[in-house]
């Protein structure tokens, strides 16, 4: 059939990826969807989705979660979206596009957003069974199925962004993963040798094997044609059951070639500054298929968005031009921050480097500085917290010394710059090219007062989300500068901060959430049920003060149960397949052979997966909810108690073997670790707490990466606070040194209770220490020098906690009423959850997660289903 060209002009968009969807939004914003017929031909069996976050599918997100297409938007603007029906040919003379279904569409304007395709090196057997590319959701589904049924080892060809994500995905699927990169380092485009070395150490620590400086020469197969290995350019052979090619992409320009449009020597549809093809003014090309006027094909989403805006503006007869784009990027690869901006590799003549590296923490930071002090660019690996500020200052002379911008807090650096110091022309959201001035204008001119309102108004923070924190800071600063009182309340239910609510609960001995809400909640919240923000926060406050204010210390008692986060509801961590983990406390990592035997027998009898953690204890995974009381009955009988892995509370106090066994040890670190863990077990706090005790300065327990860490000296103990070894590493700061046992415990008591008293909800000690006015010096004044005169009260609160501690699982298994909650179905308590299943792996088991089956469907069915969702 032919869709006839009538009085209404027609825009045909070929391709419906992220850039294609942004083009549609740009058309709508300019009113073009009301004056034009808009037809979209989408090759994939689903509308536009977030390809940047593709790997998050393996961490639990569904294809629906990744969708970027609001079907109400499609319907409201009358856009004709054809799913699974790509364009097959273009007749430029007749201005017609023929789709795979046979439909023919006449056009006034044709926009090609065909994206790119994965580059597969021309090696023998590249199409063998077990070879995949990593580009679409369908690719991920195929990889998941093959890894689940036919592979134990996988090799990824390519050590760039997608290659590392693919390797992480294979590892998450239980496959031993290798990365093969031809360049001498990982991510060769984004980072230098130093950054590559830091990234390599971190990735190898995750259990991934990396092979750099070698290429793939041949895929080895067996008699059936299935992959069994790879031959590498150095003569070695790598045994593998599957191969994932992620060696870069190429512009998808075949449709343009076939219809005679001009393409570049190395691919890409040649366009001018308005994104109009140089061969045909009626045809535009945007995104990864386009060769821009500066001679580059941009493989990032931000330039693609800018091209989409330019094309839409040109169609609307507005002035616009795409003359190049910033290639700065901030990524999170396998949980590791990696960022580069400006002249990251120092190609500018006569430039200097400022470098900070911590190989143990996997942190590398380099700034490229001009002779006049101008910030030219930089690379950040392992800690990219300052990316937004640094990128915004690129091309100017920062108002502080360069070293202050890369040194971590607590390492002697001057005060860090905040976003308020940035000029208005600084780009805050690089994905959508939004400046600080635009964000300020959203607050002052459009009366936006919240991050969601500014995101809706400016599009800032709506793509990768890395700038959202800075958005909040800028909004509050602008409101305060305008004389507007900024609401710093905990949530919509309370106008008080968490710290203020803590003081109210403590001073007035309020021991229920409802009482606090009814007396101190906002007027429109009183008498209500509260929200998901304040309920767990207040629940934590009440739990941490329970003995002092006369509340039950058992978190599932009465009203307290309804306040807890999901994991606390069953005193266990919920896992991805609906089962739970069991984590008994093993203070200091010390356990008797009899204790180990009990744990082994329980894991065997209940078929649990067992793993020794970095916190020196044993995790057991795969327990069904109705099995938890049975398992804990045996553990409690053997002398074990809850490890509180599920709670915002103390997790572990790690230790080395200390002077008892180690020839370097100067103090008994095991004894101290046990004493501290037993003292602070069950202490509810704004965030989880981790600790460690090292028996000498060799620091084998890694105490300086903990919320509070202790290192032995010849004269006693040094106490460090505010460390964090997670996604944003921070070295702990020295609070006091050469302490006796009693002095050490007294200062930790004070420090923890002061943190619990003044921290925001879900705020780690590392973040709290940097946020609290006065920082470490103020904390030292309060807990060491008693400058506020509250240390006696802090010690008393801790003494109350220690005196009234009771193991939650021991309490639970001895109360039939409390046991009643441990069922999968309230109306069928004896029925186990049929969704919870397992499959064998490495002589244990892993979750058996059903694959999401998605087939080709007519466009109207997709539209209808998505609208219902």
Name the helix (H) or strand (E) containing 361: none
- Asked whether the predicted pLDDT for residue 464 surpasses 80, the reply is no
The C-alpha torsion from 280 through 286 and 287 to 288, rounded to 10°, is: 0
Both 755 and 612 in one domain: the answer is: yes
Weakest mean pLDDT among 147-156, 473-482, 766-775: 473-482
In this structure, is residue 406 part of a structural domain? yes
In this structure, is residue 824 part of a structural domain? no
- Asked whether the predicted pLDDT for residue 310 surpasses 90, the reply is yes
Mean pLDDT confidence for 707-732? 88
Residues 6+ apart with CB under 8 A from 836: 577, 578, 579, 624
512-562 confidence digits (pLDDT tens):
999 999 999 988 888 888 887 888 899 899 999 998 998 887 877 877 777
Both 291 and 303 in one domain: the answer is: yes
Both 653 and 702 in one domain: the answer is: yes
Domain of 222, CATH number, reads: 3.50.50.60
In this structure, is residue 847 part of a structural domain? no
Task: State the pLDDT at residue 163.
Answer: 87
Mean pLDDT confidence for 378-407? 79
Farthest CA pair distance, the chain: 90
Name the helix (H) or strand (E) containing 254: helix 254-258
Q: Which residues of 626-636 are buried (b: 16+ CB within 10 A; e: fewer)?
A: bbbbebbbbbb
Weakest mean pLDDT among 5-14, 150-159, 277-286: 5-14
Both 395 and 525 in one domain: the answer is: no
Task: State the pLDDT at residue 172.
Answer: 82
- Asked whether the predicted pLDDT for residue 388 surpasses 60, the reply is yes
How many beta carbons lie within 10 A of that of residue 2, not counting itself? 11
How many beta carbons lie within 10 A of that of residue 195, not counting itself? 27
Q: Do the Cβ atoms of 111 and 95 come closer than 8 Å? A: no
Highest mean pLDDT among 124-138, 199-213, 828-842: 124-138
187: number of CA atoms within 13 Å, CB side? Answer: 30
Single residue among 191, 220, 247 that ends a domain in this structure: 247
Both 238 and 294 in one domain: the answer is: no
Give the total residue count for the chain: 869
In this structure, is residue 829 part of a structural domain? no
Task: State the pLDDT at residue 391.
Answer: 80
Both 241 and 259 in one domain: the answer is: no
Q: How confident is the model at residue 261 (pLDDT cuts 50, 70, 90)?
A: very high
Both 585 and 696 in one domain: the answer is: yes
Task: State the pLDDT at residue 63.
Answer: 84
Mean pLDDT confidence for 141-148? 91
The alpha carbon of 233 is separated from its chain's Cα centroid by a whole number of angstroms, namely: 35
Weakest mean pLDDT among 501-510, 620-629, 819-828: 819-828
In this structure, is residue 63 part of a structural domain? yes
Both 57 and 174 in one domain: the answer is: no
Q: Which residues of 714-736 are buried (b: 16+ CB within 10 A; e: fewer)?
A: eebbbbbbbbbbeebbbbbbbbb
- Asked whether the predicted pLDDT for residue 413 surpasses 60, the reply is no
Weakest mean pLDDT among 265-279, 405-419, 558-572: 405-419
68-80 confidence digits (pLDDT tens):
888 899 999 999 9
Weakest mean pLDDT among 93-107, 138-152, 166-180, 425-439: 425-439
Both 79 and 169 in one domain: the answer is: no
Name the nearest CA neighbour of 339 among 306, 382, 303. 382
Both 776 and 756 in one domain: the answer is: yes
Give dist(CA 125, CA 230) in Å, integer.
10
- Asked whether the predicted pLDDT for residue 333 surpasses 80, the reply is no
Mean per-residue pLDDT over the chain, rounded: 86
Name the nearest CA neighbour of 309 among 77, 9, 32. 32
In this structure, is residue 679 part of a structural domain? yes
Q: How confident is the model at residue 280 (pLDDT cuts 50, 70, 90)?
A: very high
Domain of 390, CATH number, reads: 3.30.390.30
Beta bridge partners of 3: 105
Give dist(CA 783, CA 789) in Å, integer.
9
- Asked whether the predicted pLDDT for residue 488 surpasses 60, the reply is yes
For strand 131-133 and strand 708-713, is the pairing parallel, antiparallel, or unpaired? unpaired
839-852 confidence digits (pLDDT tens):
888 888 888 754 33
Single residue among 260, 282, 315 that ends a domain in this structure: 315
Give dist(CA 439, CA 429) in Å, integer.
10
Give dist(CA 644, CA 832) in Å, integer.
25
In this structure, is residue 462 part of a structural domain? yes
Which strands make up the sheet holding 336-342, listed edge to edge?
Answer: 329-333, 336-342, 375-381, 363-370, 351-358
Name the helix (H) or strand (E) containing 499: helix 498-508
Nearest-Å Rg of the Cα atoms of the chain is: 30
Residues 6+ apart with CB under 8 A from 868: none
Task: State the pLDDT at residue 45.
Answer: 92
Annotated ligand binding at 696? The verdict is: yes
Both 388 and 453 in one domain: the answer is: no
Query: Which burial class, exposed, middle or buried, applies to 324 when counting CB atoms under 10 A from its CB (0-12, 13-18, 19+)?
Result: middle
Residues 6+ apart with CB under 8 A from 773: none
Q: Which residues of 149-184 are buried (b: 16+ CB within 10 A; e: fewer)?
A: eebebbbbbbbbbbbbbbbbbbbbbbbbbbbbbbbe
Which DSSP state fits 227?
Answer: E
Between residues 807 and 382, the one the model is more confident about? 807
Name the nearest CA neighbour of 282 among 307, 261, 258, 257. 261
Which DSSP state fits 277?
Answer: B
- Asked whether the predicted pLDDT for residue 189 surpasses 50, the reply is yes
Task: State the pLDDT at residue 601.
Answer: 95
At how many degrees (to 10) do helices 534-544 and 498-508 cross?
A: 40
590: left (phi over 0), alpha (psi -120 to 50) or beta: beta
Residue span of the structural domain in which 576 resides: 570-804
Which DSSP state fits 814?
Answer: T
Give dist(CA 788, CA 614) in Å, integer.
38
Give dist(CA 686, CA 499) in Å, integer.
10
In this structure, is residue 9 part of a structural domain? yes
Mean pLDDT confidence for 605-634? 90
Name the nearest CA neighbour of 332 among 394, 288, 385, 368. 385
Mean pLDDT confidence for 202-210? 85
Single residue among 289, 315, 341 that ends a domain in this structure: 315
Q: How confident is the model at residue 501 (pLDDT cuts 50, 70, 90)?
A: very high
The C-alpha torsion from 365 through 370 and 373 to 374, rounded to 10°, is: -80
Annotated ligand binding at 700? The verdict is: yes
At how many degrees (to 10) do helices 18-29 and 301-315 cross?
A: 30
Domain of 447, CATH number, reads: 1.10.10.1100
Task: State the pLDDT at residue 856.
Answer: 35
Weakest mean pLDDT among 37-46, 200-209, 427-436, 439-448: 427-436
For strand 838-841 and strand 844-847, is the pairing parallel, antiparallel, or unpaired? antiparallel
Give dist(CA 474, CA 456) in Å, integer.
16
Mean pLDDT confidence for 319-335? 78
Give dist(CA 690, CA 692) in Å, integer.
7
Instruction: Give the count of domains, the chain.
Output: 6
Domain of 713, CATH number, reads: 3.30.413.10
At how many degrees (to 10) do helices 775-783 and 741-758 cross?
A: 120
Give dist(CA 857, CA 864) in Å, integer.
11
Highest mean pLDDT among 239-248, 358-367, 407-416: 239-248
**Cα 223 to Cα 73, 130, 231, 550, distances in angstroms:** 52, 14, 17, 74
Both 374 and 389 in one domain: the answer is: yes
The model's pTM: 0.57
Give dist(CA 329, CA 577) in Å, integer.
34
């Amino acid at each position: 059939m032919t869709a006839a060209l009538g009085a209404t002009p027609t825009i045909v968009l070929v391709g419906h990826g992220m850039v294609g969807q942004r083009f549609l939004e740009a058309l709508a914003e300019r009113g073009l969807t009301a004056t034009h017929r808009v037809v979209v031909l989408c090759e994939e069996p689903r509308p536009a989705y977030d390809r940047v976050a593709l790997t998050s599918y393996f961490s639990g997100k569904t294809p629906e979660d990744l969708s970027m297409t609001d079907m109400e938007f499609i319907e409201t603007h009358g856009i004709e979206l054809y799913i699974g029906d790509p364009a097959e040919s273009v007749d430029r003379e007749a201005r017609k596009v023929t789709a795979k279904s046979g439909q023919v569409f006449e056009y006034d304007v044709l926009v090609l957003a065909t994206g790119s395709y994965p580059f597969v090196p021309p090696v023998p057997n590249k199409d063998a069974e077990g070879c995949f590319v990593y580009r679409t959701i369908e690719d991920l589904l195929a990889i998941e199925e093959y890894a689940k049924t036919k592979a134990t080892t996988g090799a990824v060809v390519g050590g760039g962004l997608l290659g590392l994500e693919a390797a992480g995905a294979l590892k998450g699927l239980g496959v031993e993963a290798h990365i093969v990169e031809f360049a001498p380092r990982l991510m060769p485009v984004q980072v230098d040798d130093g950054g590559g070395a830091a990234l390599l150490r971190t990735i190898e620590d995750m259990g991934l094997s990396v092979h750099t400086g070698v290429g793939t020469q041949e895929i080895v197969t067996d008699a059936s044609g299935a992959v069994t290995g790879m031959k590498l350019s150095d003569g070695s052979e790598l045994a593998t059951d599957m191969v994932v090619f992620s060696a870069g992409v190429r512009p998808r320009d075949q449709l343009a070639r076939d219809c005679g449009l001009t393409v570049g020597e190395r691919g890409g549809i040649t366009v001018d500054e308005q994104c109009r093809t140089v061969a045909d003014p009626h045809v535009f090309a945007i995104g990864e298929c386009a060769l821009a006027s500066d001679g580059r094909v941009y493989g990032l989403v931000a330039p693609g968005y800018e091209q989409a805006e330019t094309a839409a503006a040109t169609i609307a007869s507005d002035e616009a031009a795409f003359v190049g784009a910033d290639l700065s990027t901030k990524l999170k690869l396998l949980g590791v921050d990696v960022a580069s901006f400006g002249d990251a590799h120092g190609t500018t003549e006569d430039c200097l480097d400022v470098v900070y590296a911590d190989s143990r923490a996997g942190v590398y930071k380099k700034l490229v500085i001009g002779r006049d002090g101008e910030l030219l660019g930089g690379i950040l690996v392992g800690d990219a917290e300052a990316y937004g500020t640094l990128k915004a200052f690129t091309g100017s002379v920062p108002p502080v010394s360069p070293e202050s911008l890369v040194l971590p807090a607590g390492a002697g650096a001057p005060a860090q710059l905040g976003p308020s110091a940035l000029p208005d022309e600084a780009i805050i959201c690089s994905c959508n090219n939004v400046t600080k001035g635009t964000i300020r204008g959203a607050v002052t001119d459009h009366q936006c007062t919240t991050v969601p309102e500014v995101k809706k108004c400016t599009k800032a923070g709506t793509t990768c989300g890395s700038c959202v924190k800075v958005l909040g800071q800028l909004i509050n600063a602008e409101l305060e500068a305008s004389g507007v009182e900024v609401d710093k309340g905990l949530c919509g239910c309370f106008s008080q901060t968490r710290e203020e609510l803590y003081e109210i609960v403590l001073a007035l001995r309020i021991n229920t959430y409802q009482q606090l809400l009814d007396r101190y909640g906002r007027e429109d919240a009183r008498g209500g049920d509260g929200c998901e923000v304040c309920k767990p926060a207040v629940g934590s406050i009440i739990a941490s003060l329970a003995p002092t204010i006369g509340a039950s210390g058992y978190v599932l008692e009465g009203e307290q149960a309804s306040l807890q986060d999901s994991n606390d509801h069953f005193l266990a961590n919920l896992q991805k397949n609906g089962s739970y983990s069991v984590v008994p406390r093993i203070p200091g990592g010390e356990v008797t052979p009899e204790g180990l035997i009990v744990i082994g027998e329980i894991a065997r009898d209940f078929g649990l997966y067992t793993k020794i953690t970095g916190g020196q204890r044993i995790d057991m995974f795969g327990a069904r909810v109705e099995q938890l009381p049975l398992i804990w009955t045996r553990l409690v009988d053997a002398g074990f108690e809850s490890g509180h892995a599920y709670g915002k509370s103390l997790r572990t106090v790690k230790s080395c073997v200390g002077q008892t066994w180690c020839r370097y040890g100067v103090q008994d670190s095991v004894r101290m670790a046990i004493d501290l863990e037993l003292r602070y077990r069950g202490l509810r706090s704004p965030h989880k707490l981790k600790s460690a005790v090292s028996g000498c300065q060799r620091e084998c327990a890694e105490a300086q990466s903990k919320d509070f860490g202790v290192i032995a000296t010849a004269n006693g103990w040094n106490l460090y606070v505010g460390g964090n070894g997670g996604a944003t590493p921070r070295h702990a700061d020295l609070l006091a040194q050469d302490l006796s046992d009693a002095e050490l415990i007294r200062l930790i008591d004070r420090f923890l209770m002061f943190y619990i008293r003044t921290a925001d909800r879900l705020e780690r000690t590392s973040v709290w220490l940097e946020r609290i006015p006065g920082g470490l010096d103020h904390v030292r004044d309060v807990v060491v020098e008693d400058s506020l005169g509250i240390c006696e009260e802090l010690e008393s609160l801790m003494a109350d906690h220690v005196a009234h501690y009771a193991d939650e699982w021991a309490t639970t298994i001895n109360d039939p009423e409390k046991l009643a909650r441990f069922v999968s179905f309230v109306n069928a308590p004896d029925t186990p959850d049929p969704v919870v299943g397992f499959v064998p792996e490495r002589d244990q088991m892993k979750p058996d997660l059903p694959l999401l089956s998605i087939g080709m469907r007519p466009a109207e069915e997709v539209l209808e289903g998505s609208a219902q969702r």
